[in-house]
Amino acid sequence: MKINFSPERIAVIIFVGAIAAAPFVIQNNYQIFMLTLIGLYTMLTVGLSLVMGYAGQASLGHATFYGLGAYITALLSARMGVPSWAALIAAGVLSALIGYVLGVPIFRLRGHYLAMATLGLNVIFVLIMKNEVAVTGGPSGFTDIPPLSVGGFVFDSDVKLYALVWAATLAVLAHALNIVNSRVGRALRAIHTSEVAAESLGVDANSFKLKVFALGAGYAGIAGGLYAQAIHFISPSSFDILVSIELVTMAAIGGLASIWGSIFGAATVVLLAQFIRDKLAEGLGLTGELEIIVFGFLLAIIMVLLPEGLTTGGLKLFREWRTRAKQ
Amino acid sequence: MPSSEQLAQLILSGITQGSIYALIALGFVTIYNVTGVINFSQGEFAVIGAFVAITLSQKVLLWHGQMTASLEWPLPVAALIGVAAAVLIGVLLYRLGIQPSRNASPLSQIVVTIGASIALRGLVLLAWGTDPYRLTPFTEGPPFDLMGAILTRQSVWVMGLTVVFVVSLFLFFKYTLIGKALRASSANPGAARLMGINPQWMGLIAFALSAGLSALAGIVVAPVTFMTFDRGLMLSLKGFVAMIMGGLTDPVGAVVGGLILGVVESLAAGLISSGYRDAFTFAILVVVLLVRLGGFIKGRKGEALERAGL
């Protein structure tokens, strides 16, 4: 058997190796938890990147499905006695299903309207979670969510959670890459370039958009479930519009149409937020506002200067600069 | 069944709130017609205008309570500076954010304005903190009694000034040279350009005008409802919904849409559930979008929809 060592494959091997080695190198639990968070946000960003970058559809309410997964997991496992692993699977499946059903009317809209409708969806979701106190715990949140346990093995330590989340993240990444490099991915890119042209070549644009939206919702649902099981506590503010916008920032940094960029975007935002909170803000005697200001400007600046994201856009700029230097 | 007094009360407060949505929606329409951009930081201008006016006219704690401002300037001066501050930020947003990305997709441009909105929200939080502030009402005195409903003096100010602002804006568009140039470049940018109208300048004026209008809305409403750093996004969303209700490009429609939105929201919050106040807005939006746009408007207003990417 001949093994193909293309540069991409080597990069993947190094990446997976680094993920596996990280908990042995890093002993600090807080740092491990940060890496876990990056994994969760990567899952969310990958889904968003599929919807926005590949299908070219504005989705400014992605946190809805993140929250949906978290609340479904919480309700099923803490209130209804469903085993935690089944609750997690249900979170993924139900979020995808709900995403599909909500997508039917939403994807009749385009452009600005679509952006608005997805934002509205997020607002309504948070309001329901805040107001239905008997079911969701209201604004003060849902407590005592059991950790994931499979056959007596409980994922309760930072390292175990890290392994769990990154296993899920890698599975999501592999799945998304598979989709992108398949007929579906080509169809999505065709829709992005020109919907009319794609349709005239026999691509059912609406059906593809719906499916990819549902898929993104499913990824987000799993991430939400894992988040609930890792933190044991969820509240509506963890899933509001600002979180959706943060996810757009991550996708934008990574380049909207880039699966690998999603990891880069998620990591940049999580680490930058941590750096601002722990180092800068304290030094300046500030709290959360600095983070908001930096990310707001960052999002605007990236969209103005490098709409293709830091990775793709940066490479392009570099190439342009080099050809210009040669001339 | 609610009493007629209760209904009158809800409708009155709905009109007061709706006036603000109407002004913000007008700002949306002005920018959209001239530049084709949906500016999500529109609500932020209202917040900034109100906070600047409050800071200059009454005692306010700044910068985490480390600084106290007690300038107590007269309200008109404070309001004017509040509006000027918002106009300046609007101009900066256009020059630094929108103009450089004018060839980007509508999605990218929306995201630029969302980024700006988040950054502005952070700056407001930095300067004024999380405390709610209320501007002193424009005139002192007891409220009026209207068919058993209470009408505060400030509500009268809100409604009256909204009428004044809307009428002067229409006069501006109709009779001044700049107003005509703005209308020309929204009706046909190409032809306007051939007539020597610079679209860049028109975009700048549209942003300045809308920012000022939103700031006025924020200042007028600040005595009725408390102003907090995080109100901007919701004001933007409501203004945008009102704009969509009015048919996206129609200024009269936007004003009517804003008023209807305010009244429906107030009635729904008062009679059904106050916790879901904001959800009703989006329920209305969904109905308007799915029923009207999918149906009978598509043929007649095809042009407007095309510009929205539909």
| pLDDT value of position B309 | 40
Confidence of residue A92 (pLDDT cuts 50, 70, 90): very high
Task: Say which residues have a Cβ less than 8 Å from residue A315's Cβ, sequence separation at least 6.
Answer: none
C-alpha A183/C-alpha A169 separation (Å) is 23
| pLDDT value of position B152 | 84
pLDDT higher than 70, residue B301 = no
Give exposure, B58-97, as e/b (b: 16+ Cβ within 10 Å).
bebeeeeeeeeeeeeeebeebbbbbbebbbebbeebbeeb
Window 282-301 of A: residues touching B by CB (8 A cutoff) are 285-286, 288-301
Q: Which of A297, A293, A107, A119 is nearest to B240 (CA)?
A: A119
Best to test chain A binding among B38, B62, B110, B111 (most A CBs inside 10 Å): B111
| pLDDT value of position A52 | 84
Residue with tokens 């209760």: B6
Domain coverage including residue B247: 4-307
Average pLDDT in the A172-193 region? Answer: 83
Structure tokens at B127: 């300067």
pLDDT tens, residue by residue, B106-144 = 778 888 898 899 899 988 988 888 888 888 787 887 888
Best to test chain B binding among A101, A304, A306 (most B CBs inside 10 Å): A304
Q: What angle do CA B150, B154, B158 make, to 5 degrees?
A: 110
Best to test chain A binding among B107, B231, B297, B298 (most A CBs inside 10 Å): B107
| pLDDT value of position B135 | 81
3-state SS, residue A154: strand
In DSSP terms, which residues pair with A150 in a beta bridge? A153
Average pLDDT in the A174-203 region? Answer: 81
Confidence of residue A287 (pLDDT cuts 50, 70, 90): low
Residue with tokens 């503010």: A237
User: Which residues in chain A are closer than 8 Å to B96, comparing Cβ atoms?
Assistant: 304
Confidence of residue B24 (pLDDT cuts 50, 70, 90): very high
**A297·B101 Cβ contact <8 A:** no
**A242·B96 Cβ contact <8 A:** no
C-alpha A286/C-alpha A273 separation (Å) is 13
Q: Which of B254, B309, B261, B262 is nearest to B285 (CA)?
A: B261
pLDDT higher than 70, residue B56 = yes
| pLDDT value of position A309 | 67
Structure tokens at B205: 């004026």
Query: Is residue A144 a contact partner of residue A75, using CB atoms and an 8 Å limit?
Result: no
Q: Backbone dihedral region of B309: left (phi > 0), alpha (psi from -120 to 50 degrees) or beta? A: left
pLDDT higher than 50, residue B296 = no
| pLDDT value of position B307 | 44
* ipTM exceeding cut-off 0.85 for this assembly: no
Per-chain mean pLDDT for chain B: 83
CA-CA distances (angstroms) from residue A161 to A73, A95, A154?
16, 22, 10
| pLDDT value of position B83 | 93
> Out of B101, B276, B286, whose CB is closest to A120?
B286
| Cα B166 off chain centre by | 12
CA-CA distances (angstroms) from residue B270 to A218, B13, B279?
37, 10, 13
A150 touches chain B (CB under 8 A): no
Q: Could you give phi then psi for residue A142, rounded to 5 degrees?
A: -110, 120
Best to test chain A binding among B38, B63, B102, B118 (most A CBs inside 10 Å): B118
**Number of structural domains, chain B?**
1
| pLDDT value of position B231 | 87
C-alpha B95/C-alpha B232 separation (Å) is 21
3-state SS, residue A150: strand
Higher pLDDT residue, B301 or B146? Answer: B146
Average pLDDT in the A66-95 region? Answer: 92
CA-CA distances (angstroms) from residue A34 to A267, A271, A292, B38, B64?
9, 8, 19, 36, 29
**Three-state SS letters, A293-320:** HHHHHHHHHHHHHCCCCHHHHHHHHHHH
C-alpha B305/C-alpha B215 separation (Å) is 29
Average pLDDT in the A32-59 region? Answer: 88
> Out of A120, A249, A304, whose CB is closest to B100?
A304
| pLDDT value of position B299 | 39
Per-chain mean pLDDT for chain A: 85
3-state SS, residue A144: coil
pLDDT tens, residue by residue, A156-166 = 888 888 889 99
CA distance B79 to chain A (A): 25
Q: Which residue of A has its CA nearest to B280?
A: A124
| pLDDT value of position A1 | 52
Average pLDDT in the A169-174 region? Answer: 91
Residue with tokens 């002193």: B136
C-alpha B280/C-alpha A20 separation (Å) is 48
Confidence of residue B293 (pLDDT cuts 50, 70, 90): low
CA distance A4 to chain B (A): 38
Parallel, antiparallel or unpaired: strands B144-146 and B149-151? antiparallel
**Greatest mean pLDDT among A45-59, A212-226, B191-205:** A212-226
3-state SS, residue A166: helix
Q: Which residue of A has its CA nearest to B275?
A: A131
- Least confidently predicted of A90-94, A198-202, A238-242, A243-247: A198-202
Window 37-66 of A: residues touching B by CB (8 A cutoff) are 52, 56, 58, 60
- Least confidently predicted of A27-36, A63-72, B18-27, B137-146: B137-146
| pLDDT value of position A194 | 78
| Domain of residue B30, CATH code | 1.10.3470
| pLDDT value of position B303 | 44
A306 touches chain B (CB under 8 A): no
Confidence of residue B292 (pLDDT cuts 50, 70, 90): low
Higher pLDDT residue, A318 or A232? Answer: A232
pLDDT tens, residue by residue, B180-217 = 888 888 888 788 888 888 888 888 989 999 999 999 99
Query: Is residue B186 a contact partner of residue B250, using CB atoms and an 8 Å limit?
Result: no
**Greatest mean pLDDT among B126-140, B145-159, B247-261:** B247-261
| pLDDT value of position A203 | 77
| pLDDT value of position A122 | 92
**B237·A128 Cβ contact <8 A:** no
pLDDT higher than 90, residue A214 = yes
pLDDT higher than 50, residue B302 = no
**A121·B241 Cβ contact <8 A:** no
Residue with tokens 């979170």: A91
User: Which residues in chain B are closer than 8 Å to A297, comparing Cβ atoms?
Assistant: 115, 119
pLDDT higher than 50, residue B255 = yes
Q: Which residue of A has its CA nearest to B63?
A: A286
Average pLDDT in the A123-148 region? Answer: 87
Residue type for B206, please? A
Q: How many interchain CB pairs under 8 A, A with B? A: 140
A276 touches chain B (CB under 8 A): no
Higher pLDDT residue, B145 or B116? Answer: B116
- Least confidently predicted of A30-44, A54-68, A274-288, B181-195: A274-288
Residue type for B133, please? Y
pLDDT higher than 70, residue B294 = no
User: Which residues in chain A are closer than 8 Å to B105, comparing Cβ atoms?
Assistant: 307
Q: Which residue of A has its CA nearest to B310?
A: A110
Average pLDDT in the B74-98 region? Answer: 90
Alpha helices in chain A (DSSP H): 7-25, 29-49, 63-74, 84-106, 111-131, 133-136, 158-180, 183-193, 195-200, 205-231, 241-254, 259-275, 282-284, 289-305, 310-326
Q: Radius of gyration (Cα) for chain A, nearest Å?
A: 20
A3 touches chain B (CB under 8 A): no
Share of chain B above pLDDT 70, in %: 92
